[in-house]
Structure 1
Amino acid sequence: MANTFYTAFLSEKYKLLRNREIFGVLIVPMVLVFAIAGYIIYDVMDSGGAVAVPNPWKLLLGRYVFQFFYLLYPILVALFVYACCDVEYKNNNYKILFTLPISKSNIFFSKAVFILLTLLFSILFAYAAFLISGYLLSLIYPVLGFQNYDFRVVIFYTFLKLFITLSAIAMIQLALSLLFRSFIYPIGVGMFMLVFSVLVAQKSFSDFIPYTGAYNAVMNILSENDSFARLDYSNMLMLVIFLLISFYLFKRKGQF
C-alpha cells in the first residue's frame, strides 16, 4: 500500500513539476515580499531619510505584503489547482489513469498531497522572505525600528492560518476543477468568492467561507492576533469536507 502510494506520488510529482503554474505559486509570493522590501528602501531613499515607525513589522512591511497576499494568493492557488487537473484532461489521461494497476485512492491522494505540499513550501518560502526582509531592513535602516520589536509569534501564526486557509481553498478549487472541464468556471467561482468574502467579512457567517481567511490575514497582522478563531477551525473542517468531495468526483471520472 505504502509503495503504491509512493509510486503514484512520484508519478504525480514528475507530471506536475512540468507545469509552469507550480513555479508561480512557489516563487511569486516570495518575490513579492522582496519587491515590497525593495520599494520600502526606494521610498526611504526618495524621501531623503528614514523615519521611525511604530512596529514597522505590521505597519510597514506586514500591511503591504498581506494586502497583496489576500488578493494574489487565492488566484494563484486556483490557477495551480486547475493546472493539476488540466494535465489529466489533455489527451484524455483519465482513461489511462484508471487502467493502471494502482487504486484510485492512491492516485487521487497523491495528487492532493502534492498540492498541499506545494502550498506548504510556498508559504515557507514567503515566510522566510518576510523575516529576511525585516532583518535586512533593520540592518540597512535601524531608525525604522524593526529590531525593536519581537513580532515572530504573530508572524508565525499569521502565516500558519494563511496556509490553513489556502489549503481549504485548494480543496474547493480541486472539487470545482474536477467538476468542470472548462477553465472559466473554477477560476470564475474562485474570483467571485474572493470578492464576495471581502464584502461580507464583517458578517458572522463569513467564518464559514474559507476565502475570508485570506482577507483576515491582513487583519491578523495589523491587530497582532496570534490565536485561532472560529474561521480557522472552520477552514480545517472545510479542508476535510472538500477533500472527500473531490475524491468522490475523482472516482466518478472512471465512469465516463
Structure 2
Amino acid sequence: MTTTTFYFKSLRNETLKLKHTFALWLTAICALLIPLLFFIVYIVKWEKLIPAEGVNPWNKFANEQIANSLPALVPLFIVLITSLIIQVEHKATAIKHLFALPIPKWSVYFGKLSIVIATVFVTYTMYYGLILLNGNVLGSIRPQLNFSEFSPEYVFHIKILFRSFVSVLGILAIQFWLSFRFKNFIIPLGVGMVLVIVGLIAARAPESIYFPYSYSMISMNPLDEKTSDLNLFWWFPTVSWYSLGYFVVFAIAGFFDIKRMNVK
C-alpha cells in the first residue's frame, strides 16, 4: 500500500470507532450549550435587549457569544475530547494491539490526531451555525429585536473563529500526546484542567505568550474590525504562530515517543 492509502484507511477506521464513543455527544453538547443559553436569555428578556435604532443586533448577539465563551470552553473541550477518544484505545491494551499490526505506526498516530483536529473543527462549525440559526429564529419570534433587518458580519466572525481555532492547536497536540502516553484517564485530564485554569489566570501577563494554555484567551485581543481582510497579521497574530510551533513540535515529538512503546 502507498503512504496515502495507509493514512486514509486509518482515517476511515478512526471515524468508525468515533461513532461508538461519547465523543460525538460531547461535541454536540459543547456546540449547543452557549447558543442555547443565549437563546433562552433573549427569549425571556427580549424587551431589555431591543437594540437602538440603526444598531445591528448581530454585533452584540454573536460577538459576545464568540468572544466570551470560546477562550475558556474550547481548551476544556479539547482536554475532554482528546482524553475520551484515546481512552478507547487504552481499554484492553488496544494501542499495543494496533501498533503490533503490520501497518505503519505513523498512520495510526497521525490518523487519530487528524480525527481529533476534525472533531474540534466540526465543533466550531456547529457552534457558529447554531448562533446564526438562533438569531434568525429570534428574528422571526420577536421582530422587535431587528435580527431580520440586518445581516451578521460573517467575515469578522470567521476571522475570530479562525484565530481561536489556530490558537488551540498547540494544546491539542500536547493533550493528544499526554492522553496517548498515559493509560490512566485521570492523568491527562487532571493535568489539562489545571493547565487550562492556570492559562486563563495568567493570560494577562506578558510572559503568557510562551504558555500555550493561555493562547485561546490571548487570541481574542486585539480584535480590530477596521483591519483589512487581507492583513495577514489579523488572521495569524503572533500567538497563532507560537501555537502552530507548539503543535508541530509536540505532534512530532509525541509520535517518536509513542513509537518506542513496547507492543509485545
Task: Tell me how far 1:132 sits from its aligned partner.
Answer: 2.7
CA distance in 2, matches of 1:29, 1:152: 18
* Superposed counterparts of 1:226-245, under 5 Å: 227=234, 228-245=236-253
2:57–2:145: 8 Å Cα contact kept in structure 1? Answer: yes
SS at match of 2:190: helix
Question: In structure 2, what residue type is equivalent to 1:25?
Answer: T
Q: Summarize deviations over 1:185-233 as a string: whole Å, max 9, x none.
A: 2122222222222222222222232322322455466x64771311111
* Superposed counterparts of 1:1-256, under 5 Å: 1=2, 2-44=4-46, 50-52=50-52, 55-146=56-147, 147-148=149-150, 151-216=153-218, 219=221, 224=225, 227=234, 228-254=236-262
Task: Tell me how far 1:243 sits from its aligned partner.
Answer: 0.9
Q: Summarize deviations over 1:88-122 as a string: whole Å, max 9, x none.
A: 21111122112211110111111111111111111
2:99–2:263: 8 Å Cα contact kept in structure 1? Answer: no
CA distance in 1, matches of 2:94, 2:162: 35
Superposition CA RMSD, Å:
2.6
2:58–2:150: 8 Å Cα contact kept in structure 1? Answer: no
Unaligned runs of 5+ residues in structure 2 are none
CA distance in 2, matches of 1:199, 1:122: 25
SS at match of 1:254: coil
Task: Tell me how far 1:142 sits from its aligned partner.
Answer: 5.0
Distance 1:172 1:80, change over 3 A: same
CA distance in 2, matches of 1:197, 1:151: 29
Aligned residues: 253
Distance 1:131 1:218, change over 3 A: farther
CA distance in 1, matches of 2:123, 2:99: 30
CA distance in 1, matches of 2:79, 2:191: 9
Q: Summarize deviations over 1:46-91 as a string: whole Å, max 9, x none.
A: x5x7343855434344324543333222222111111222112111
SS at match of 1:82: helix
Distance 1:62 1:238, change over 3 A: same
Question: In structure 1, what residue type is equivalent to 2:96?
Answer: K
Q: Summarize deviations over 1:106-143 as a string: whole Å, max 9, x none.
A: 11111111111111111111122223333444454455
Question: In structure 2, what residue type is equivalent to 1:240?
Answer: V
Task: Tell me how far 1:44 sits from its aligned partner.
Answer: 1.0
Question: In structure 2, what residue type is equivalent to 1:35?
Answer: L
Q: Greater helix share, 1 or 2? A: 1
1:63–1:218: 8 Å Cα contact kept in structure 2? Answer: no
Unaligned runs of 5+ residues in structure 1 are none
Distance 1:182 1:190, change over 3 A: same
